[in-house]
Amino acid sequence: MPDTTSTKKPAPNVSEHPMMDEVIRCEKLTKLYPAGNILAVDQLNMTVHHGEIFGLLGPNGAGKTTTVGMLTTLVVPTSGKAIVGGIDVVAHPSLVKQVIGVVSQTNNLDRSLTVWENLYYHGLFFGMKSREARAAADKLLVEFRLTERAKAEVMAISGGMAKRLQVARALLHSPSVLFLDEPTAGLDPQSRLALWEILRKLHAEGQTILLTTHYMEEADSICDRLAIMDHGHILAVNTPKGLKESVGADSIVTISAAGNLDALAALLKEKIEGATKSQRVDNVIQLHIKGASGVLPKVVSIAEQAGFNITDLSVAEPTLETVFINLTGKELRD
Amino acid sequence: MNMITDTQTAEHFKKLRPAMAASRAAFGALLLRDLTVLRKGLGIFIARTLVQPFLLVFVFLYVFPQIGQGIGGGGGANGESSFATVLVAGVVALSIMFQGIQAVALPLANEFGYTKEIEDRVLAPLPVSMVAIGKVAAGAIQGLIAALIVFPIAAVIHAKGVHPNLTVNWVILLTLIPLTCVMTSALGLFLGTRIAPRNIGLMFGFIVLPITFLGGTYYPWTALAAVKIGGFSWLQALVCINPLIYVTEGFRAALTTAPHMQLYVIYPVLVGLCALFLWVGIKGFYNRVLS
């Protein structure tokens, strides 16, 4: 909502419970790490609705993990406000912990306990009776296909299993919102797909999820809405489709060539019909096209007439990568 | 800016348990978790509790008298018996001290390490300070068990003719043991949170060893008055910065009739050290787990 409605009463035209379906709300949330004077997150405003999978997409160092840290009480904000599950994170951290489930990027399972015990004791931490915790642990082991390894030490199970166990543990106390920080980083492709399946299933059951990722495919295929982050700021928030449409092009032509690429980019923008944008990104040119077909032969002939030797040429629909380049002028992948 | 509420309004929000009840339950569960881990490693726990006192008592009270390398001012069996009396108190004190530091500082070094496995417990629904206090409580329980295991050994193992003269003052013993267990576990919390996890090994050489040798384990503090430079009993003054000296002297008071530091010094200092180590330990814990 716009910052201009600076009144204490809700505006009359909003519904009776304007915050009804907000599970997370940040206002000007800021984290300045005193060591090194690093502004990791800068005046972040963000809202996550009940039942959605919300993604924070950005490169390493964008401030995603710090944001999750602040929302999960492990990072103390320098300023600003965050409400999670209806509770002020800074004022009532112990209460917030009742309503969140957290899957951290590293394997932080309790190495002194077995697979099953990791779940069981987590249940006890959250006030379950022994019998309840036992039943919940058994049930989640079945759901997450870990029953066979119930008695294994957590260091003895595979990375994919460990991540599933972390997710199971975070869900054991039925949190209002599940946080996952780079959930598939370091997982093999099969485990990644398995985890996506789990997240889709949870989504279908109505679980609110906030995840961070620097994988575009993950953001694109899993998330209902995405915030694109860089240098502690959110640059855009929309559905993956909306973000891609915001590029304003149906197709993106990528051209590799020898010579002055900036000059070629300008030339193509001028000569190609439907070219909305033409820019050099590192060693290639990206040409945005809208409402035109048969572009590739034209690109080749224009380039050759101007004396450029094209070494590679491809055309694709806009991706989140395109969106990121559009917003930041650099590639998401480093 | 819209006003945002910090109360729950929408019906799909999870129903909260009262903060106090949730904290109590979580605290109990954290303790249970630590005791479960202790139970799993009970054999190692007992072995590590026994090895040091056993060696001390074996060498000093069994081997030395037999090879004629007597210790103790009086010489002969009398001197050895009086050394045995000194050592029993020292060994019990030392065992609790070791246990407190090992039970708290060493696991913390792992749990704060790269994987941050402490995180799941920090995310349990209780204040972070309570997680730290739970660590101290679990450490204190281990110290208590160690005391129970060690005391009989110290009192029983010795060569023929060497007899420690033990006169138990139960009031002192039963107040001193819990106080010592908490103080040493709090010291463990302090060390475990202030020493970088990768340097935890250095703790033994630079902290535990000086504490042991200058902690009145092998000699009573009162006897140090004889170590003088220019009429000043410098060593007796210096060891007062060692927390262990108050523990060994306390056990001397509890177990023997030998001269010892005044109880009106021992108790307030031990209580003060408890408070100090808890305070800096909890602060250190915050610094480790929150950023």
Boundary residue ending a domain (A205, A227, A244): A244
Beta bridge partners of residue A275, listed in sequence order: A289
CB pairs A-B closer than 8 Å: 151
Edge-to-edge order in the sheet of strand A100-103: A100-103, A177-181, A208-213, A53-57, A225-230, A233-238
pTM for this prediction: 0.86
Instruction: List strands edge to edge, sheet with A79-84.
Output: A38-49, A22-33, A79-84, A87-88
> What are A236-293's pLDDT values in tens digits?
999 999 998 888 888 888 989 888 888 888 888 888 888 888 888 888 888 898 877 7
Range(s) of the domain holding residue A306? 248-317
Residues B178-211: pLDDT tens digits?
Answer: 999 999 999 999 999 998 888 888 888 888 888 8
Mark yes or no for CB contact B14/A85 under 8 Å.
yes
Could you tell me if A306 and A157 lie in one domain? no
The ipTM, to two decimals, is 0.85
A176 CB neighbours in chain B (<8 A) are 12-14
A73 vs B: CB within 8 A = yes
Distance CA B230, CA B155 (A): 39
User: Do A141 and A67 share a structural domain?
Assistant: yes
pLDDT of residue B95: 87
Average pLDDT, chain B: 85
Task: Name the band, by pLDDT with cuts 50, 70 and 90, for residue A235.
Answer: very high
| A78 part of a folded domain | yes
Minimum CA–CA partner of A99 in chain B: B14
B94-138 confidence digits (pLDDT tens): 888 888 888 898 888 888 877 788 999 999 999 999 999 999 999
If asked whether residues A227 and A129 sit together in one domain, one would say: yes
Q: How many distinct structural domains can be found in chain A?
A: 2
Confidence of residue B86 (pLDDT cuts 50, 70, 90): confident
> Using 50, 70 and 90 to split pLDDT, how confident is the model at B139?
very high
Domain membership flag for residue A15: no
Are A127 and B26 a contacting pair at CB < 8 A?
A: yes
Chain B neighbors of A21, CB-CB under 8 A: 10, 12
Query: What residue in B sits closest to A67 (Cα-Cα)?
Result: B291
Domain-embedded: residue A37: yes
Residue A5 lies in a domain: no
Q: Do A98 and B126 touch (CB under 8 A)?
A: no
Residue A124 sits in the same domain as residue A112: yes
Q: B109 vs chain A: nearest CA distance in angstroms?
A: 13
Q: Same domain, yes or no, for A312 and A167?
A: no
- Put simply, the answer to whether B8 touches A126 (Cβ < 8 Å) is no
What is the band of A6 on the pLDDT scale with cuts at 50, 70, 90? very low
Query: Residue type at B84?
Result: A
Residues A157, A206 share a domain: yes
Q: Which residues of A, range 3-42, sit inside 8 Å of B by Cβ?
A: 3, 5-6, 8, 10, 17-22, 25, 27, 33
CATH of the domain at A237: 3.40.50.300
A121 plus A44 within the same structural domain: yes
Residues of A in contact with B39 (CB under 8 A): none
> Under 8 Å CB-to-CB from B219, ≥6 apart: which residues?
B86
pLDDT per residue as tens digits for the range B31-51: 999 999 999 999 988 888 888
Q: What are the residue ranges spanned by the domains of chain B?
A: 44-289
Nearest to A88 among B6, B14, B29 (CB): B6
Q: Which of A75, A42, A30 is nearest to A234 (CA)?
A: A42
Q: How close are the terminal C-alpha atoms of chain A, in Å?
A: 34
Closest partner residue to B127 (CB to CB) among A33, A76, A94 is A94
* Mean pLDDT over the full length of chain A: 88
Q: Which domain CATH number covers A256?
A: 3.30.70.100
Query: Do residue A106 and residue A254 come from a single domain?
Result: no
- pLDDT for res A16: 40
Taking CB atoms and an 8 Å limit, are A74 and B123 in contact across chains?
yes
pLDDT tens digits for range A97-152: 999 999 999 999 999 999 999 999 999 999 999 999 999 999 999 999 999 999 99
Nearest by CB to B13, from A86, A121, A124: name it. Answer: A86
A232 plus A296 within the same structural domain: no
Which of the four pLDDT bands, split at 50, 70 and 90, describes residue A333?
Answer: low
Does A181 lie in the same domain as A36?
yes
Q: In which element (H, E) is residue B103 found?
A: helix B76-111
- Within 13 A of A170's CA, how many CA atoms are on the CB side? 30
Q: Write down the pLDDT at residue B237.
A: 87
pLDDT single digits (tens) B227-249: 888 888 899 888 899 999 999 99
- Residues of chain B found within 8 Å of residue A162, distances taken between Cβ atoms: none
Q: Is A333 among the domain residues?
A: no
Q: In chain B, how long is the greatest CA-to-CA distance?
A: 87
A127 and A164, same structural domain?
yes
What is the structure's pLDDT at A77?
Answer: 95
Q: Say whether both A189 and A120 belong to one domain.
A: yes
Q: What is the nearest CA distance from A174 to chain B, expressed in angstroms? A: 8
Question: Is the predicted pLDDT of residue B1 greater than 50, yes or no?
Answer: no
Q: Decide if B117 and A176 are in contact by the 8 Å CB cutoff.
A: no
pLDDT at A18: 44
